[in-house]
Structures are given as C-alpha cells and as structure tokens.
Amino acid sequence: MARTRRKRQNIEIELFPFLSILACTIGTLILLIIVVTAQSLSDERQVTIVAKTEEGKNATKTPRYIECRSNGVVIYPSEEFVSLSNLERTNSPFQQLLREVRRNRNKEYLIVAIRPDSFDVFEQVRDLIEAQNIDIGYEPIDEGWILKIQSTDEKEI
C-alpha cells in the first residue's frame, strides 16, 4: 500500500491590515483628546447666538436680543445695562425696547440669553414681555462665556 501524503498548506495570518486600522483609530483618538483638552483649558469661551429656523432661515421676524444677568439685563447691540430696579420704570431703555418691539410685533421678537444665576431676573423679564404680547425665545448660556450676537444674514452685531 502506497501512502500518499497530503501537503499541508501553511495558513499565514497577516496582521498588517488590522494594525493599519488600529494605528488610524489611535491617531484619531489622540487628535480628539487634544481638541477636547484645548477647548476645556481655554479661558476665553464664547457663544454666538444666531437666530434661524430649522431650515436655516428666519424670513418672517427679526430678533432683538437681551441678556439676563443676576443684577439686571443687557440690551444688544448697544450693550446698554438696565438694573433690576429700573426694569419696570416707564422711561427705562428696557421699557423703550418693549414698546418698539410691541409696535413691530409682526416683524420682530425677543431672544433672551440666560446666565445660570439670572433665572429670577429671566422670570420677571419673561412676565413683562408676555404681558406685552411679544413673541419670545430664550437661550441658556454658561457664566464665563462671552456672548456674541449674529443676525440672520451672518453679520456680527
């Protein structure tokens, strides 16, 4: 009886494609860690509020901006501060703004930026705005952030 030997084929596993993918993944993760760390260590943070609809347009109304702080409000773009005690005075800049927006309520509305320590001020401001039957939007922002306002046509205010 003749024995025939089958030759065993040696199966070689190449790890080069796997190592390439692993190296790319590690590189991407390192880049992501660097970006997140750089953003978290940055002292100057800013947030930009841009009024747009879900489709990216605001064709019906123009926004006017107010920032609530713990001791009053700031009216943009003039950055005029109105203290909490002057909010309800008829000659205050805040009341003048409300009168302007109320006259143009079909064309304008208010967006209020809210700092973490200004929620009580926001409630008072919201009540005053809603009493005038003015549309309102609001955006919470962090305490240390610098507020930048952009209009719908992307020009900074």
pTM of the model: 0.59
146 by Cβ neighbours in 10 Å (0-12 / 13-18 / 19+) ranks as exposed
Residues 20-78: tens digit of each pLDDT: 899 999 999 999 999 888 777 765 565 555 565 556 555 578 888 899 988 999 988 88
Q: Which residue has the tokens 């079909």?
A: 106
**The pLDDT of residue 152 is above 80:** no
Least Cα distance to 113 among 142, 139, 145 occurs for 139
**Residue pair 111/66 in contact by the 8 Å Cβ criterion:** yes
Average pLDDT of span 100-128? 89
